[in-house]
Structure 1
Amino acid sequence: MQLVSLSIERANQLLREITFKDGLNLILDKPTVPGQQSGNNVGKTTAIRLIDFCLGSDGDEIWQDSEFRGSVNQDVFDLLHGTPAVFITLTISDKFRGIHSFRRSFKVKAQKGTGLLYIDDVPQDSITAYRDEVKNILFGTKAKKPSMRQLAPKFVRSSSAVMSKTLKFLGSFGKEVEYEAVHLFLFGFFNVGVLEERAALSSRRSVVARDLLGATRQRKEGEIEQLLLHLRREIDEAQASIQLRGEVPEIAAAANSVSEIRARASDVGSALGRIEGEIASISLAIASLKHDYNNIDYVAVKSIYSEAGKYHEKLQHDWEDLSNFVANLRGRKERFLQQQLDELNEKAAIAHQDLARLQVEEEGLVTALRQTRAFEIALEARADLHEKLKQVGGLEESLSAIQSLRASLEHIDSKLNATRETVEEGKAQLTQRVSLFNEFFSSLSKDLYGEQYLLTFDESKNGSIVFSLTSVGANVGAGKKVSQTAAFDIAYIKFLHAARINFPTFVCHDGVEAIHGNQLSELLTTANGLDGQLVLAAIRDKLPGISETFLEENTILELAQDDKLFRL
């Protein structure tokens, strides 16, 4: 997988197009007159960061200084976020996966999201979907770990800080488990999901083991089982006793008497309920009757009656006769209802007396019963049974929790053993692949810098596989760290071919000026014969001792103060 081209477009106008070639690809400043013009700040590093942008970066470093976050190149920012939108397109090629294009625009001011995203001219719904598909094309997988953004700094080292960190290119925030996933993946251990599973299982096992320890601290599993057998035997014996079966003569006789009293009280209570219902109904009827008669306007009725007598001769009775008749009828009805009400109240009073008497009888029987020794024994037996049942419930719950935790622990251990076998098989292959890589790495570092470097790995105290670099020499200075990184990345490309791993065989570097002149010359010569690509952004003046012919043959882009990357 190699780079083909990088283009910058706006409003269908091509602002810049960079075509990549095999081997060394230099991005330099144009030759200048010393002391008159500078090759700085013309867009060399930005070109590399645009490659990273097409691989899914946020793009902030394109207009913002990586060391001074408040320092913004306003002209570049306004161009990229203005209208019409600026599109960046990276084209790549692979003999097995074919040619693909990654095309992005920057977010226009006041626009939500991350700008427009296309892969092979197909719109992508989100930056996450875009990154997943980029990873799938470059590495042949959409697995979540490691992410595309965790892998990208290995192939696009767009700052001196990343150049000085050969293995720890995720920065100070990279975790041990994240580096484990990245490094194992880069060296062909593709089942990195098992590493995530192992870490999660280990964490879960610690929690379950702690809970199991707490659950068995007071009583062990075997102890609980024996206690349950003992208690259940005692419960069976207790439930078979005459005290709990109600077979003690004194208690049985008193209980029967109490039951009879309660039955009579229930009948009386039911009858009282019916009586009180009738009392309420009759009381309402009397009140309604009084209300209806009290609201009659007798003067108005008398006037209407007298007036009607003028036209109807059959109205023989005078008003007084009629009024007396109505009053008499009302009185008889009211007296009848009141008589019924009095009778019902008398019945209710008798029922209340009966209930009170039955209650006294019941309380007397119960009080007398409670004072007997037989009753005390029965109560003690029932309380003892209740306590045993309570103990059994608690012990059964504890035993169930212990057994559940132990089963969980066994299940976790089983899965951990499976992941351990997978990792051990992978480590055997990993050892061979790291050894293959070291053939190129040690040889290249010795030829270039006279210092042999080796890649090693071991298991940390946390159980993670940790990669590290070792050298025969003393402490590695800044220049040597950059040299180490350059040798590592070139060796890695050679390793990919030898191991037949179809990953990107390009790498982009910035900040190589710290490498000694002779070493840098050897590095460029080696890179030029590489079956892959080294894209290098550098200041021309920092490449002493390298012929102009060599530079011209391998330069893919020249920039100047009057011809910057975005032509601003």
Structure 2
Amino acid sequence: MQLLELSIYKNKSLVRNIHFKKGLNLIINSASSSNKTGNSVGKSTLSRLLDYIFLSSGEDIYTEPEFSKVIPEVYSFISNNIIYVELYFKGHDQRNYKIGRTLTTSPKDSVFYVDGKISEKINYITLVSKQIFGQTSEKPSIRTIAHKFIRNTHEKMQNTTRFLHNTTRPDVYDQLYLFLFGFTGLELLRDKASLNNQIKTKNKHLSAYRAPHRESALQKMISPLKAEGALLQNRINDFDFKESQETDVKELVDIQRRISDSTIEYSNIKTRLNYLDRSILKLRENASSVDGRELSAIYEEAGVVLNGNLKRSYEDLLVFHNQVISNKIHLLISDYEEYRLEENKIKRRLDKLHELESGIFKHIKEPDTLKSIGQIYNELSIVKEQIAGISTLLHKIEDTKALIESLENKKKEIILEISRNTQILDENVEKFNEYFGALSKYFYGDRYIFDLEFDSEKEKCRFEIVNLAPNPTGGKKKGELSAFDLAYIEFINFKKLKRPTFIVHDSIEDVDVNQVFDIFQKANQLEGQYIVSLLSDKIAGSKFSNFKKDSIILELSEDDKFFKI
């Protein structure tokens, strides 16, 4: 990909058009014989407008960086006019695109454009993500990635690897560096987290099923119960009916058998209804006040990605959480109602059978005979219920064990794929260090190494820059940063990774002039774009004459400031 042009319009009239070059792109102030320093002409504005195109709030365009104090003339320029910023670029698919955004002091009022037509924000974001940043997943976000390529604040220029806000969570850096160095298993990590959560839940179910008896004990209970049932059935089969009552008693036996079977079925339905009732009650209790951070952690652990538009405030997280709970309750209630209908159906069948049973009782002339056979059937019914209950529990245990095994096998496959991705990541970092070490050695005589280590079990990254002169500051630190960012472009070109091939740096005046020259030389040989703003005094020497002749894309002055106001 390549940046081609940036254009700024005021009320549809062109204010400024900047053409980007391959290699070195310089933004400087015009040399002045007066005492003007060139610090307030808008050299940093181009980087901030690029950042605005990549979804920044744009506040840094009309405020001073140190105290965030509004710059009146710029604020008025934006507020009183329709300002439109448009970027023309070549995407990773080698097609040219135009994207634009109206510049306002209220980001929510921005209007987005793609190829000159008003676009939905989501379509704009998708295009930028894919064609500029090579990002097709939700994390890391465009805003997170953009900070690596647009270093337009003092903090970003002083921190080579930890350039995000100082409150940034470690997992954001993890996502960023895994993405930057070609780890394609971020979705696998989420799948693994989801499987871990499912396995954890099923293991809880399994523990509940095994209380108070494990399956080995349950299996041993069935044989004696079956033997007892067989004896009772034999007693029924061998029962000596009186001829005059044989028909009635046999009919009674059949009805009581059906009552026994229906009672077992009814008992199973009631067990399921009780389970659903407890589950619904528990979910309703959970739909209450919970700490927002705790909720966020719960969903991340479960592999649930919270939409980027969802604010991470306590209230919004609680609403999101309760909506998830509400959906689950709705599904359980639907199941509950179906089982309730089945319960009523069996209940009616039992009532009818009991009516038939009562009718036969009235015709039986010998109560002792009835009492004897009825007692045997009651005992058989109890035994059958016990066998059915144990069998159902054993089936649940075996089914749950099989499901856990299946989930564990899927997890093993994912872990194996993560391992392959981790190996590729290590190879990529090694290749990057070839370029990083060579450039840092060329600039300063010190070989720098980027040490990135990914623990796939903990899903955490550890990273640092290692060199023989620890903790460099000032100009040398910015030289380290230049080597890092230029090396990254060389690395992605070699690996053919779809990542931005431009970098934007601001204020390198405290870098030694000889190192500035070396950085410019390497940047000019780059299959990418190094866009840097600096004071013209820094490159006043004759050895910079060719760079000033060929690489200046924007020259500003007190009479020709960026917005021409």
* Length-normalised TM-score, structure 2: 0.67
Deviations 1:326-351 (A, max 9, x none): xxxxxxxxxxxxxxxxxxxxxxxxxx
Identity %, equivalent residues = 28
State the match for 1:411 in structure 2. 406
Does residue 186 of the first structure (1) align with residue 183 of the second (2)? no
State the match for 1:153 in structure 2. 147
Structure 1 residue 427, shift from structure 2 partner: 3.1
Distance 2:537 2:198 in 1: 57
Structure 1 residue 482, shift from structure 2 partner: 3.2
Deviations 1:461-516 (A, max 9, x none): 74326262342324323434433322111011112222233433211112434544
State the match for 1:17 in structure 2. 17
Matched residue SS, 1:224 = helix
Matched residue SS, 2:44 = helix
Change (3 A) 1:392 1:552: same
Change (3 A) 1:461 1:28: same
For residues 137-148 of structure 1, the aligned pairs below 5 Å read 137-139=131-133, 142-148=136-142
Letter in 2 for 1:28: I
Distance 1:391 1:465 in 2: 51
State the match for 1:488 in structure 2. 484
State the match for 1:556 in structure 2. 553
For residues 416-427 of structure 1, the aligned pairs below 5 Å read 416-427=411-422
For residues 80-91 of structure 1, the aligned pairs below 5 Å read 80-83=78-81, 85-91=82-88
Letter in 2 for 1:47: L
Letter in 1 for 2:114: I
Aligned residue among 157, 165, 183 for 1:163: 157
- 8 Å CA contact 1:27–1:538 kept in 2: the answer is yes
- 8 Å CA contact 1:135–1:142 kept in 2: the answer is yes
Matched residue SS, 1:44 = coil
Matched residue SS, 1:512 = coil
Distance 2:236 2:459 in 1: 68
Does residue 116 of the first structure (1) align with residue 111 of the second (2)? yes
Q: How many residues align structurally?
A: 454
Change (3 A) 1:483 1:197: farther
Change (3 A) 1:461 1:143: closer
Distance 1:377 1:562 in 2: 115
Does residue 468 of the first structure (1) align with residue 458 of the second (2)? no
Moved more, 52-61 or 546-555: 546-555
- 8 Å CA contact 1:445–1:484 kept in 2: the answer is yes
Structure 1 residue 15, shift from structure 2 partner: 1.2
Change (3 A) 1:95 1:224: closer
State the match for 1:450 in structure 2. 445
Deviations 1:242-300 (A, max 9, x none): 59x99799x99xx9xxxxxxxxxxxxxxxxxxxxxxxxxxxxxxxxxxxxxxxxxxxxx
Structure 1 residue 563, shift from structure 2 partner: 3.0
Distance 2:435 2:488 in 1: 8
* Length-normalised TM-score, structure 1: 0.67
State the match for 1:315 in structure 2. none
For residues 314-329 of structure 1, the aligned pairs below 5 Å read none
Q: Which runs of 5+ in 2 are unaligned?
A: 250-360, 362-366
Distance 1:246 1:235 in 2: 19
Distance 2:196 2:220 in 1: 33
Structure 1 residue 410, shift from structure 2 partner: 2.1
Letter in 1 for 2:516: L
Deviations 1:115-174 (A, max 9, x none): 22122224321x222111112222556343444333222222232223334334444455
Aligned residue among 505, 508, 528 for 2:504: 508
Deviations 1:494-545 (A, max 9, x none): 1222223343321111243454444334323322332221111234456686
- 8 Å CA contact 1:451–1:471 kept in 2: the answer is no
Letter in 1 for 2:38: G
Does residue 53 of the first structure (1) align with residue 52 of the second (2)? yes
Distance 1:242 1:206 in 2: 48
Letter in 2 for 1:138: I
Letter in 1 for 2:23: G
Distance 2:510 2:225 in 1: 81
Matched residue SS, 1:564 = coil
Matched residue SS, 2:38 = coil
Distance 1:248 1:80 in 2: 107
Q: Which runs of 5+ in 1 are unaligned?
A: 256-365, 367-371
For residues 137-536 of structure 1, the aligned pairs below 5 Å read 137-139=131-133, 142-172=136-166, 174-190=168-184, 192-216=186-210, 218-238=212-232, 241=235, 391-392=386-387, 394-460=389-455, 462-464=457-459, 466=461, 468-479=463-474, 480-536=476-532
